[in-house]
Amino acid sequence: MKGAVAVIFLFVDGVGAGGRDPDVNPLARGDFLLSRFGDGGGSPLPRGGRAVLADACLGVPGRPQSATGQSAILSGENAPGAMGQHLLGFPNARLRSWLEPRSIFRALAGEGRSTAFANAYPVAHLHALGFPADGEPELPMEIVRRRSRASATTVAFAAGGGRFRTWAEAREGRALTHDITGHRANGYGAGIPPREPEEAALVLLGIAREHDLTLFEHFETDEAGHARSMDRALDALGRVDRFTRALLAGLREGDSLVVASDHGNLEDLSTRNHTLNPVPVIGFGKAAGMVDQVKDLTGIAPLLRGLARGTSVH
């Protein structure tokens, strides 16, 4: 079980640092914690937080993509460089084989550290991916088998031998759905008590205090960018911002919160494609004093490992 401090990694998909044009950049329409801009500026951060901009291209031509970007974040190594290209969406077999032995979760498990993935999944999805999960599938297996693919976060967490959480645990206040509130899962009959972002933050804090490192993933920001929808972008950013500020309010001395993304997208709604922009990496608590060492996506895993170990970044 976890000791004195908590380390939370809040991964927010598809948010880069772009221009300050509110016509195309929803981050320029409000003082969000993620309102970081290409000129290096942004909204003031509370509680001594510090932000840097990290290169997401990693020396590989083309637009950064989720599969390789997230693999770089979760391994600390140049995944697109190893693959020779940016791979979109979900890792293919080659990338999965590359990521598994390099996973931060695997490394921490080998040191006897405890990790958690706070996202809740339907039992059917976990079974379709070959992962154990208690309970009856809430969704038709024949449909889920056709649609289920393992994200980089799923591959990396599984490599550490961790247990995935289910909708049942979200109903019990021991996990969260990716949208924070439970609204989308409830559209499929999940029966999760609707939670305001502030209530969801208390759930995540409770999980984090029992582990050395806890991951929570939110990807509606990336979906909004692909849809080029200002309304959806502002809605997602608003929920993430309230959630993050509530997490900050609950941090104790020695705790850390790291917020980061994998590639740009939402910050430029003039296109539905990913961008070449750098991405924000924001540290709060103990992480604020270490985040300056992150120059690109490969610097995030060393930061998290150092925090989870209670040591400086190497």
Q: Please state, as a whole number, how many other Cβ atoms lie within 10 Å of the Cβ of residue 194.
A: 10
What are the φ/ψ torsions at residue 74 (nearest 5 degrees)? Answer: -90, -5
Residue 2 lies in a domain: no
Domain count, the chain: 1
Within 8 A by CB and 6+ apart from 23, the residues are none
How far is Cα 194 from Cα 143, in angstroms, rounded to an integer? 26
Residue 127 lies in a domain: yes
Residue 302 lies in a domain: yes
The pLDDT of residue 313 is 43
**Could you read off the pLDDT tens digit of each residue along the chain, which spans 314 residues?**
445 689 999 999 999 999 999 999 999 999 999 999 999 999 889 999 999 999 999 999 999 999 999 999 999 999 999 999 999 999 999 999 999 999 999 999 999 999 999 999 988 889 888 888 887 666 655 566 556 789 999 999 999 999 999 999 999 999 999 999 999 999 888 899 999 999 999 999 999 999 999 999 999 999 999 999 999 999 999 999 999 999 999 999 999 999 999 999 999 999 999 999 999 999 999 999 999 999 999 999 999 999 999 854 43
Residue 237 lies in a domain: yes
Residues 130, 132, 133, 134: what is their CA dihedral angle, to the nearest 10 degrees?
130
Name the pTM for this structure: 0.94
Q: Look up residue 2 and give its DSSP letter.
A: -
Residue 181 lies in a domain: yes
Block residue for tokens 């991916």: 129
Residue 1 lies in a domain: no
Residue 314 lies in a domain: no
The pLDDT of residue 132 is 82
For 200, the domain range is 7-309
Residue 252 lies in a domain: yes
We report the CATH number of the domain holding residue 133 as: 3.40.720.10
